[in-house]
Amino acid sequence: MRIAVLGTGYVGLVSAACFAHAGQHVTCVDIDEAKISLLRRGKVPIYEQGLQDLIAEGRRHRRLHFVSHAAAAVSNADIVFIAVGTPTRASDGHADLSQVYTAVESVAPSLKAGTIVVTKSTVPVGTADLIEHLIRNICPELEFEVASNPEFLRAGRAVDDFLRPDRVVIGVESGFAAARLLTLYRSVGIENERILLTDRRSSELIKYAANGFLATKIGFINEVADLCEKVDARIGDVARGMGLDQRIGIRYLQPGPGFGGSCFPKDARALVKMGEDHEAPMRIMETVLASNDARKRSMARKIAAICGGTVRGKTIALLGLTFKADTDDMREAVSIPLAQALIDAGGILMAYDPVANGRAKALLPQCVRYCNSVAEAAEDADAVVVVTEWQQFAEIDFRTLRQRMRSPVIIDLRNFLNEKQVQRDGFKYFSIGGPRRQAFETMQPQTKSEKPLRTHDSKWVAADSLEEQIAAAE
Ligand code: UGA
């Protein structure tokens, strides 16, 4: 099959490289000529595991091409995928579809008869209908189809998610389009049981509902984590105890500083707007968004409380700046409002991210100092804060790190480090949703006048395995 992909963001590039890997002939189009010339020189503008190799393979086999002019790319394409951005529209919070319509208008006159135009971009319900009208207006005689095929790729895991998906959703209005897209996905090695065929509108909504629901799961567990801190419970065990119920499931129950990225916040906002437009209010989604927004800044108050009530004049080392690990994406990253709030409160910020220091500079307050290593960031710090769960932070030699710091305090906003190990290395360790005992032990010098808090039986630490629990009890 001949495929054209409009847009070379992470969805467009990953889809194109994976279709080429499956043996299809793929041409990627982007109006950004600098990006296209970079890709033609074998460079990949985003950091995505496995993508560079797949792109190199596609180019070696001459199955993957990059061009900046859409007309030639689509004129012999059997399927045209639209994979351009649909960011939040600043004026009203709706999804901004201008890039989608511009892309469609630019290719419509060049489409050949029988082409299927497929939206991979996340678009509100009814967009496929509008695209169909648009093309029909430009080319009244053309025979074509419009289909919806949302993506469920996680940044950092996108290649794997594409090649081994939980499901592929295909929304079509004709058997012809269904058959073509099924053939395409079978070439990628996806079995029938993993493919959901539906109508276009349901397909478009599935994407928003899925992202909205995952965001809700995270929002919920984050609030339960806050409750754990107040009632002396452990969020790790609470989440595990919930998630072992297969009706709930353990994934996306990891508490943290709030969800970010280019998808959950934007899609949650668009779902709320869609609900308003169709008089079907999305109250739960609205609440999740409000709770998440408030949470990001509130992390600065948590840090201040741990630092004895204020960060004024204190040096805080932020480890990890991207919205999650294994990506260089800074969009809606917690580090942005968090750094601003800490600076507003008078803190001195040192920051280190394994891949995104450069990107962060444009987004975080100017006075943040960027470091080339964890050790440099922690020099004379009053607290180290793990903002993003990069694997290299789990491998830090904390005993050595402690020597560099003014006070040995770790605030782990991802509940990612090994609590016991870090404590053995002489640190005061704080997590999200930890028991009050954790806070009590660390806050002792500042809270002398307060009544002692109730502590857990020290034998009953959060156990990772039954054996460990039994050993602790004996
Ligand atoms: C998300 C979805 O997971 C993908 O299925 C979807 O295709 C994609 O959006 C999209 O619409 O394009 P992504 O934004 O890459 O993928 O990131 P996730 O790994 O889902 O994480 C999103 C945010 O939630 C991150 O800030 C992450 O740290 C946070 N998160 C995730 C938690 O706080 N707890 C969790 O248990 C899981």
For residue range 177-199, list pLDDT tens digits in order. Answer: 999 999 999 999 999 999 999 99
Report pLDDT for 466.
Answer: 52
329 Cβ inside 6 Å of ligand 1? no
Backbone phi, then psi, for 253, in 5-degree steps? -120, 25
Report pLDDT for 96.
Answer: 95
How distant, in Å, are the alpha carbons of 28, 236, 263, 448 from that of 384?
43, 21, 28, 24
**Which of 442, 469, 473 lies closest to 455, judged by CA?**
442
Instruction: Give domain 2-198's CATH superfamily.
Output: NAD(P)-binding Rossmann-like Domain (3.40.50.720)
Classify domain 217-468 by CATH number.
Answer: 3.40.50.720
Given a contact cutoff of 8 angstroms between Cβ atoms, the answer to whether 95 and 89 are in contact is yes
- Please give the sequence-ordered ranges of beta strands (E in DSSP) within 281-437, or none if there are none: 315-319, 348-352, 369-370, 383-386, 409-412, 428-430
Q: Which residue matches tokens 């648009």? A: 134
Give dist(CA 112, CA 165) in Å, integer: 31
Give dist(CA 213, CA 210) in Å, integer: 5
Report pLDDT for 449.
Answer: 40
Annotated catalytic residue within 228, 263, 307, 371: 263
**Which of 314, 384, 305 lies closest to 352, judged by CA?**
384
**Which of 79, 130, 387 lies closest to 260, judged by CA?**
387
Report pLDDT for 471.
Answer: 59
211 Cβ inside 6 Å of ligand 1? yes
263 among known catalytic residues = yes
- Please give the sequence-ordered ranges of beta strands (E in DSSP) within 271-332, or none if there are none: 315-319
260 Cβ inside 6 Å of ligand 1? yes
Domains of the chain, residue spans = 2-198, 217-468
7 Cβ inside 6 Å of ligand 1? no
Given a contact cutoff of 8 angstroms between Cβ atoms, the answer to whether 136 and 114 are in contact is no
157 Cβ inside 6 Å of ligand 1? no
Nearest CA to ligand 1 atom 13: 154
Report pLDDT for 297.
Answer: 87
Task: Tell me whether domains 2-198 and 217-468 share a fold.
Answer: yes
Nearest CA to ligand 1 atom 20: 154
Nearest CA to ligand 1 atom 28: 324
Given a cut of 70, the residues of the chain with pLDDT beneath it are 436-474
Report pLDDT for 273.
Answer: 95
153: CA distance to ligand 1 center in Å?
A: 9
